[in-house]
Structures are given as C-alpha cells and as structure tokens.
C-alpha cells in the first residue's frame, strides 16, 4: 500500500531539482559503476531523472522507474532527445521482460521502503530483474552516524527557486525507534507564501542490512562512506553498498 504522505516532497519537481540537485559526484559514481558492468541499467525510484539523464548522456542504455507522476513528467521534459525511457511504477511490484546488468537506487530512496515487507519486496524485484551476476548498488543513511533525536523546528538551509527567490527551509524531526522510521515535517518559506510537506524514512543499521541482503541472495562486494569510495566505518553518515546477485 502506498503511503501518499511520502509523495508530498515530490509535488514541485522543478524546485526539487534546484534544492537537491548539487550532488554531481554521486552521478559520476553511478556512471563509473555502470561502465564497470556493461549492459542495460535500471534506475529505480529515479525521481526527476537527475542521475538517469547523466548516465544516458554518457551513452549508457538506461531506464528510469518511479511512482511519482509529477517527477516523471519533468524527467521526460529534461530528457527530450535522449534514448532513455521513464516508466511509472511501484518498485516493489515492477515487472519487465528486460534483464539488467545493473540496478541502482539513489537519493537515499532505499529508506522510503518503511517495513520489512517493503524492503523484501523491493529486493525481490531487483533480484528478478538482474542478469545472473548482475550488480545492485544503493545508498542509505547510517543510523549510527546520524542524529536521530527528536527536534523542534530548526532552519535547515536555503535554495533559490525557479523565479530567483531565496527560499528558507526549516522543519522538525521525530524518530520512532520501534520501527526505525524518522518522520520529517518540512516548511519552505518564500516570504510571500509557505508550503509544508511530510516524509518518512527508515534507518536500517548495517548489521540488519547485511542480514537482509544475504537472505535475499545478494553478496555485498564493497561498502563505502561516500561517493569518493572512502571505506565505510561504523560512524559514517552514509552506507553505499555495492552488491552482486547470487
């Protein structure tokens, strides 16, 4: 079942890109991974296609899948003229006649799968769609390296929107330790208007992640702390996992 609250962050795709689009080293990391394992690539939970389009421009045969209609509509506009397909579907149930050399999730999209059942359904999809020995790459925030304490409203930063207006971003966070789910409430203030959105993300610790991937027939080949391939340490803020289908 889709948690529609978790799609609220994706109602304004053009400004989404302006707020979150600066991680070019991330795009290069996934491009390097794709080149190291030649063949078709699938970007699950691709959003507006920031990474998808970067790979397509480099000649990678790639397809993007996402559940958010508005994000895909903007992805298609940005990708005009490129040989890339965008498909609206739920990553937990997506089926295809194609088999892929590499499948990846980025933007911490793995954390949008909030239950054990959701995570297993996602990994089943990935396993089914990968070629034998195919590569599965994704990142997730590391709970051991993040502040999970409850917080009242704090200023998180600013960005400049499509009309050149500086938008102040603030919000609150509330963590449910029993479910490992963080609930963020985000407030964006334009001065003349304000918008609110909610999103929930699951923080899976690395030991649980290892057990989950092993149980779903993946082998973890590498784990990094960032896009520069810094070796993972227990207190790193991120876990970037490079896995192989068994």
Phi, psi values for residue 153, rounded to 5°: -60, 130
**Is the Cα dihedral 236, 108, 168, 54 positive or negative?**
positive
6 and 199 in contact (C-beta within 8 Å)?
yes
Contacts with 107 (C-beta within 8 Å, 6 or more apart), sequence order: 20, 45, 47
Domain spans of the chain? 4-143+204-245, 145-201
| C-beta separation of 201 from 184 below 8 A | yes
Tokens of 234: 């227990």
Helix H or strand E encompassing 172: strand 166-176
Cα-Cα-Cα-Cα torsion 163, 167, 172, 176, nearest 10 degrees, comes to 40
Residue 94 has pLDDT above 90, yes or no: yes
pLDDT tens sequence across 120-158: 999 999 999 999 999 999 999 999 999 999 999 999 999
Tens digit of pLDDT for each residue in 179-218? 999 999 999 999 999 999 999 999 999 999 999 999 999 9
For 3-39, write each residue's pLDDT tens digit. 546 778 888 999 999 999 877 899 999 999 999 999 9
The Cα 214–Cα 219 span in angstroms is: 6
Domain 4-143+204-245 of CATH type 3.40.50.150 = yes
The per-residue pLDDT for range 148-172, each reduced to its tens digit, is: 999 999 999 999 999 999 999 999 9
pLDDT of residue 24: 83
Please name which of 50, 91, 55, 58 lies closest in space to residue 74, comparing C-alpha atoms: 50
Confidence (pLDDT) at 172 = 98
Structure tokens at 200: 């929930």
Instruction: Tell me the Cα Rg of the chain.
Output: 18
List the one residue out of 83, 82, 107, 103 whose CA is nearest residue 94.
103
């Amino acid at each position: 079942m889709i948690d529609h609250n978790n799609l609220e962050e994706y109602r304004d795709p053009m400004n989404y890109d302006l707020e979150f689009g600066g991680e070019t080293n991330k795009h290069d990391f996934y491009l390097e991974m794709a080149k190291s394992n030649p063949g078709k690539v699938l970007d699950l939970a691709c959003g507006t296609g920031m990474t998808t389009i970067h790979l397509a421009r480099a000649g990678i045969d790639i397809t993007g899948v996402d559940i958010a209609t508005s994000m895909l509509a903007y992805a298609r506009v940005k990708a005009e003229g490129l040989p890339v397909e965008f498909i609206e579907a739920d990553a937990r149930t997506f089926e295809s006649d194609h088999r892929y050399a590499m499948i990846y999730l980025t933007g911490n999209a793995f954390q949008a799968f909030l239950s054990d059942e959701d995570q297993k359904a996602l990994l089943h999809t990935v396993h089914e769609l990968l070629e034998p020995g195919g590569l599965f790459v994704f990142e997730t925030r590391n709970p051991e390296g993040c502040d999970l304490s409850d917080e009242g409203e704090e200023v998180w930063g600013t960005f400049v929107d499509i009309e050149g207006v500086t938008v102040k971003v603030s919000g609150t966070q509330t963590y449910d330790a029993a479910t490992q789910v963080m609930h963020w409430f985000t407030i964006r203030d334009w001065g003349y208007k304000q918008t609110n959105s909610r999103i929930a993300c699951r923080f899976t610790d690395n030991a649980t992640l290892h057990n989950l991937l092993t149980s779903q027939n993946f082998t973890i080949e590498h784990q990094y702390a960032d896009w520069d391939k810094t070796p993972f340490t227990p207190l790193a803020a991120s876990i970037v996992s490079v896995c192989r289908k068994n």
